[in-house]
């Protein structure tokens, strides 16, 4: 395949799937392996004519291989040759694996994505590009099928997952190796990829060759196509879930009311997804297929008197006229689970749903300056001093702002302490930040002095947070 055609295919994938925003800054994850080297070179070639730019190569030293330092040196030299800034991080994968009781593979994955997240949160880049290929996609589909996965799992690897983008999902490893050969680009071989103790490697080296030989030479393409179909179906179903939850679920601070008559009338696939959404929202934990079916069975059963049933992090309370889920850790189970980390892009004008909280945050422009309290659920901020785009996320250690009327900077953690906001509730407060990472508004608590509306402001932005199902 001509190399021009390959770069054009990758460019089309980036544009059609909206992987990189106009003017976006990209950091390329560079391990030194063939896929990542090809990605780094392709991205540099395309950036010369693109509206986005490559601002760095990121190498993560997992300290697992004897040749780990040599890998780092190789990547540094490639960055120098391509005249791209070089970023390097060192992580202790073995320690995380040991401390959390997880595999080395899972520990490495978590640490990598923590670094990717930090890079984007700190505005070093708008996204991180990884070298996942069509072959990786096929392997992931098989891996999830073996472990037991629903439609979402069978969707495989998504082209974009938050700040991580994968421009090579329509490209095979074979094509990338040909690209490296034509470009005379060297790469490093990771012998751990040949270790068949790892399930993914057994799929790569044993299962897929077996399927190719005995069933279909094009099995990788078949699996990739099925994953694409599953992704589209999953996106549509999630849209239906959003609409259905708005209609039949009422979120409260600690209690969620469910319209049991409505949920039992739903198609089974939709009822299961709605149940999963609500159980994970309330309990803050992953929910199994059996637990979803158990909830639906209990809701479908006739109820002549009060009854309860426990689920991970929640308790179902049923009476003849109400069905509720409450946050519940059970006897002697310790403190309430914290809300998981979230981050959403907030369009202006527009709104986003924070599934982790069961809340909506909206932004609208206004020509008038309303009188609103900084500690309310609706605030007005100066649109002139905000640098778009906006992001909604929860509190993170180290957050600092200039709270309105307090003078000077203050750690958000100290503000929470002063206002007696418990640790369990701090991560359940939406925080709006602008493109520089500056905190604009801590919902229900305060806004930053820098964004206070003055008489000279010609326009304001109205920010509002409300519960799902709450009337605007």
pLDDT in tens, 214-230: 999 999 999 999 999 99
pLDDT at 204 > cutoff 50: yes
pLDDT at 179 > cutoff 90: yes
Residues in the chain: 472
Q: What is the pLDDT of residue 4?
A: 64
Q: Strands 160-161, 86-90: parallel, antiparallel or unpaired by DSSP?
A: unpaired
Is 3-214 assigned to CATH 3.40.50.620? yes
Distance, C-alpha 303 to centroid of its chain: 39
- Summarize the confidence of residues 184-199 as an average pLDDT: 86
CATH of 343-467, one of 3.40.50.300, 3.40.50.1100, 3.50.40.10, 3.40.50.1010: 3.50.40.10
pLDDT at 395 > cutoff 80: yes
Which band of pLDDT confidence, cut at 50, 70 and 90, is reported for residue 50?
very high
Q: What is the DSSP string of 136-153?
A: HHHHHHHHHHHH---HHH
In the chain, how many H helices and how many E strands?
16, 22
Calpha distance 390→436 (Å, rounded): 9
Provide the 8-state DSSP code for 203: I
pLDDT tens, 71-96?
999 999 999 999 999 999 998 988 88
pLDDT at 333 > cutoff 60: no
Q: What is the pLDDT of residue 470?
A: 53
Q: What is the pLDDT of residue 338?
A: 60
pLDDT tens, 115-167?
988 888 788 899 999 999 999 999 999 998 888 777 778 888 999 988 899 99
Closest by CA to 393, choosing from 182, 118, 169, 70, is: 118
Q: What is the pLDDT of residue 385?
A: 84
- Summarize the confidence of residues 17-46 as an average pLDDT: 94
Which stretches of 221-276 are assigned E, i.e. beta strand?
Answer: 249-251, 255-258
Contact 155, 161 (CB under 8 A): no
Most confident by average pLDDT, 157-166, 175-184, 337-346: 175-184
Calpha distance 164→116 (Å, rounded): 7
pLDDT tens, 234-274?
889 988 998 998 899 887 767 889 999 999 999 999 999 99
Structure tokens at 184: 């005379």
Q: What is the mean pLDDT of the chain?
A: 87
- Summarize the confidence of residues 376-393 as an average pLDDT: 86
Which band of pLDDT confidence, cut at 50, 70 and 90, is reported for residue 1?
low
Q: What is the pLDDT of residue 47?
A: 92
* % residues pLDDT > 70 (the chain): 94
Calpha distance 328→227 (Å, rounded): 37
Residue ranges of the domains in the chain?
Answer: 3-214, 252-327, 343-467
Q: What is the pLDDT of residue 469?
A: 53
For 339, other C-beta atoms within 10 Å of its C-beta total 19
- 3-class DSSP state for residue 53? strand
pLDDT at 58 > cutoff 50: yes
pLDDT tens, 289-329?
889 999 999 998 887 778 889 998 888 998 888 898 888 76
């Amino acid at each position: 395949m001509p190399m021009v055609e390959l770069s054009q295919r990758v460019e089309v994938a980036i544009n059609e799937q909206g992987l990189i925003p106009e003017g976006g800054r990209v950091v390329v994850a560079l391990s030194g392996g063939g896929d990542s080297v090809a990605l780094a070179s392709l991205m540099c070639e395309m950036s010369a004519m693109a509206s986005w730019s490559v601002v760095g190569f990121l190498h993560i030293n997992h300290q697992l291989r004897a040749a780990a330092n040599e890998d780092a040196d190789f990547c540094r030299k490639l960055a120098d040759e391509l005249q791209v800034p070089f970023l390097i991080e060192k992580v202790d994968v073995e320690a995380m694996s040991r401390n959390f009781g997880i595999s080395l593979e899972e520990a490495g994955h978590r640490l990598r994505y923590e670094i990717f997240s930090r890079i984007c949160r700190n505005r070093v880049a708008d996204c991180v590009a990884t070298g996942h290929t069509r072959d990786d996609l096929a392997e992931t589909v098989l891996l999830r099928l073996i472990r037991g996965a629903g439609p979402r799992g069978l969707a495989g690897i998504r082209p974009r997952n938050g700040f991580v983008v994968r421009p090579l999902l329509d490209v095979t490893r074979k094509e990338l190796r040909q690209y490296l050969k034509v470009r005379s680009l060297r790469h490093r071989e990771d012998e751990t990829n040949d270790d068949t103790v790892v399930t993914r490697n057994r799929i790569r080296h044993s299962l897929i060759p077996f399927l190719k030989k005995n069933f279909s030479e094009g099995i990788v393409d078949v699996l990739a196509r099925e994953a694409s179909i599953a992704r589209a179906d999953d996106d549509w179903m999630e849209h239906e879930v959003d609409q259905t939850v708005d209609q039949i679920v009422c979120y409260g601070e600690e209690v969620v009311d469910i319209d049991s008559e409505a949920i039992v009338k739903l198609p089974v696939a939709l009822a299961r997804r709605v149940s999963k959404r609500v159980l994970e929202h309330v309990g803050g934990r992953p929910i199994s297929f059996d637990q979803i079916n158990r909830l639906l069975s209990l809701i479908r059963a006739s109820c002549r008197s009060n009854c309860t049933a426990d689920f991970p992090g929640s308790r179902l309370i049923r009476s003849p006229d109400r069905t509720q889920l409450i946050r519940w850790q059970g006897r002697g189970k310790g403190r309430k689970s914290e809300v998981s980390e979230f981050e959403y892009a907030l369009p202006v004008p527009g709104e986003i749903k924070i599934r982790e909280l069961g809340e909506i945050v909206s932004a609208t422009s206004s020509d008038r300056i309303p009188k609103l309290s900084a500690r309310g659920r609706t605030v007005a901020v100066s649109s002139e001093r905000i640098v778009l785009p906006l992001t909604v996320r929860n509190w993170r250690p180290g957050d600092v702002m200039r709270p309105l009327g307090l003078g000077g900077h203050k750690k958000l953690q100290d503000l929470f302490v002063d206002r007696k906001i418990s640790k369990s509730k701090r991560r359940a407060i939406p925080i709006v930040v602008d493109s520089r990472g500056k905190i604009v508004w801590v919902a229900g608590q305060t806004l930053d002095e820098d964004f206070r509306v003055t008489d000279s402001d010609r326009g304001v932005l109205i920010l509002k947070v409300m519960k799902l199902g709450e009337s605007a």
